Structure 1
Amino acid sequence: MVLISSLLLFSAVAVAVPAPTPTPTPVKSHDHGNHSTTAEKNKPWNAGAVPQYPIHESCNATQRRQIEAGLNETILLANHAKDHILRWGNDSSIYRKYFGDRPSIEAIGAYDIVVNGNKDGVLFRCDNPDNNCELEGWAGHWRGENATSETVICEMSYHTRRYLTTMCAMGYTVAGSDIATFWAADLLHRLYHVPAIGQLHVDHFADSFEEVIDLAKSNKTESTRDSETLQLFALEAYAYDISVPGVGCAGESHVDEEEEDVPENCHTHDGGVLHCT
């Protein structure tokens, strides 16, 4: 009887133990506000950047090749100008000649954006959509209000522009020759017109070698964002440091004193060359 009672007691106790409560299966929440995939989350920080200046399909193979070579030299010219300033700063006599005692940070930025900035928002084309290439003396132009990101390169450019390998040759001097002699400086000028590069900050405050030097002598704030100044400094620094090291070909300016009527959307450079936008 004792054994039976014990068994009954054990059974009663066993029955009294409640069954374990099943663990509820977690319900997956759906975040309807975030649909980014793993691939999107793993994109590099600079995804979508445009590393090279775009050239329009209207340019044929030879035009494209020349523009590409010119743009490569523009980057080379701008990068050396930046490197020269980073190395020497205001201690450089060439820097003081063109920028006076102005802080160097603005000029460095003006060159660096050409070299390392996103190339989106810039387009070079060859199809003369505004018919300006038919005008005498036009080697190219920024399209302005018609298309602020676009620059047209006219036929004249392919016959007259030179490459930096001929710097300081054939009588060229920085002060005495046309500022647009080389593709590098001409395209640098054209890039500064485009808002994506010049940011409506780089502009024309001087239109001759003499005016550029006057800006520097008077220590005007515009010198480090003047298109003409930025081109001339880059050319002289390259000539002195790279083309003919320690010598360069600065030259002297020979300005035509005769005044001429200049259209409202144009400006002249040394040698009487007309540049229009």
Structure 2
Amino acid sequence: MLLFNLIISSAAIAAALPTPESSGGNQSQPFSGLAPWNAGAVNQFPIHSSCNATQRRQIELGLNETITLASHAQDHILRWRNESEIYRKYFGDRPSMEAIGAFDIVVNGDKKDILFRCDNPDGNCNNEGWAGHWRGENGTDETVICDLSYQTRRSLSTMCGLGYTVSESETNTFWAADLLHRLYHVSAIGQNWIDHFADGYEEVIDQAKENATLSTRDSETLQYFALEVYAYDIAVPGIGCPGDQHKHDETHAEQTTSEAVTSQPTPTATNTDAPSKTSEVPAVSSCLGCIVEI
């Protein structure tokens, strides 16, 4: 009889305990309900309705090549870490995970809060030589692509052709690198961390020698690195098209390196609030399948 009473008491206590479904308190996402953890993720770059079918197609192809360029840059670093000659040329001795992250967020990051548009809302496409711009305070998530882009940007399939070299040509020769630069302006990708610290090939190489701490967060450096490893690994394997190489005073480099031990330079970014002007690229002598007149 005593055993029977104990069993009855235990059953009553168990029945009174709260079940997992009836537990109090809020259950934090992503585990509530039946929604998957990544519900609402945006995997494609949004393009504004102001872009017509032809513009949309070219922007989409350009963004696909941006993913290709960034993905290979990431793969190169994952394979060789910070030991490859090209890596050390652009990033010095910086840890490889810094540069990997800068490329990975372009490839795999959520595409929400990014918008490409074609309607020239700020009038900057009327300025001579402007092929696109980040809207800045007028629209921090938005990038405008101007008509000049469709007339001058090239596909990665022409890498190392038509006179292109990494050191002597503009980074925005190709859709891939131009759009990579524009994505870094948007806070969803650049996260107010990637910025402009060097301007042009020479400054990029100097920066890797004298202040490498900025290299892995420098927009220009990331573009040059991605272009050079794509040229060397993919376009013309084992050769690439680096162009004239940087000539640096080694004595000066040693001096600045020793000074950096006792005094670290303060990061100073160039102004990115103003819309970014796009330099003209060399004219292409024949249609590459991506030129339209609008």
The partner residue of 2:200 within 173, 186, 208 is 208
The 1:40/1:90 distance shift into structure 2, 3 A limit, reads closer
CA distance in 2, matches of 1:80, 1:263: 27
Q: Name the count of aligned residue pairs.
A: 240
Task: Tell me, yes or no, if the aligned pair for 2:232 and 2:240 is still in contact at 8 Å.
Answer: yes
The partner residue of 1:160 within 152, 155, 161 is 152
CA distance in 1, matches of 2:164, 2:46: 30
Task: Tell me, yes or no, if the aligned pair for 1:179 and 1:270 is still in contact at 8 Å.
Answer: no
The partner residue of 2:133 within 141, 144, 155 is 141
In structure 1, the partner of 2:287 is none
Task: Tell me, yes or no, if the aligned pair for 2:129 and 2:278 is still in contact at 8 Å.
Answer: no
Counterpart of 1:265, as a letter, is: A
The 1:155/1:267 distance shift into structure 2, 3 A limit, reads closer
CA distance in 2, matches of 1:135, 1:95: 37
Q: Give the SS at the match of 1:124.
A: strand
Larger radius of gyration between Structure 1 and Structure 2: 1
The partner residue of 1:101 within 87, 93, 103 is 93
1:128 aligns with 2:137: no
1:111 aligns with 2:120: no
Q: Aligned runs of 1:35-114 on 2, under 5 Å?
A: 41-114=33-106
The partner residue of 1:224 within 212, 216, 237 is 216
In structure 2, the partner of 1:12 is none
Task: Tell me, yes or no, if the aligned pair for 2:232 and 2:241 is still in contact at 8 Å.
Answer: yes
TM superposition shift of 1:32: 10
Which TM-score applies when normalising by structure 2? 0.75
TM superposition shift of 1:159: 0.2
Q: Give the SS at the match of 2:143.
A: strand
Q: Give the SS at the match of 1:42.
A: coil
TM superposition shift of 1:104: 1.1
The 1:44/1:266 distance shift into structure 2, 3 A limit, reads closer
The partner residue of 1:177 within 159, 169, 176 is 169
1:242 aligns with 2:251: no
- Identity rate, percent: 69
TM superposition shift of 1:264: 8.8
Task: Tell me, yes or no, if the aligned pair for 1:205 and 1:222 is still in contact at 8 Å.
Answer: yes
Task: Tell me, yes or no, if the aligned pair for 1:193 and 1:203 is still in contact at 8 Å.
Answer: yes
Counterpart of 2:36, as a letter, is: P
Note the aligned Cα RMSD (angstroms): 3.0
Deviations 1:215-253 (A, max 9, x none): 111142100000000000000000000000000001127
CA distance in 1, matches of 2:278, 2:134: 17
Task: Tell me, yes or no, if the aligned pair for 1:176 and 1:270 is still in contact at 8 Å.
Answer: no
CA distance in 2, matches of 1:35, 1:98: 46
Counterpart of 2:117, as a letter, is: R
TM superposition shift of 1:206: 0.2
In structure 1, the partner of 2:267 is none
Task: Tell me, yes or no, if the aligned pair for 2:116 and 2:142 is still in contact at 8 Å.
Answer: yes
Unaligned runs of 5+ residues in structure 2 are 1-15, 247-270, 283-294
CA distance in 2, matches of 1:102, 1:91: 10
Greater than 2 Å deviation, 4+ residue runs: 29-36, 262-273
Task: Tell me, yes or no, if the aligned pair for 1:79 and 1:111 is still in contact at 8 Å.
Answer: yes
CA distance in 2, matches of 1:31, 1:264: 50
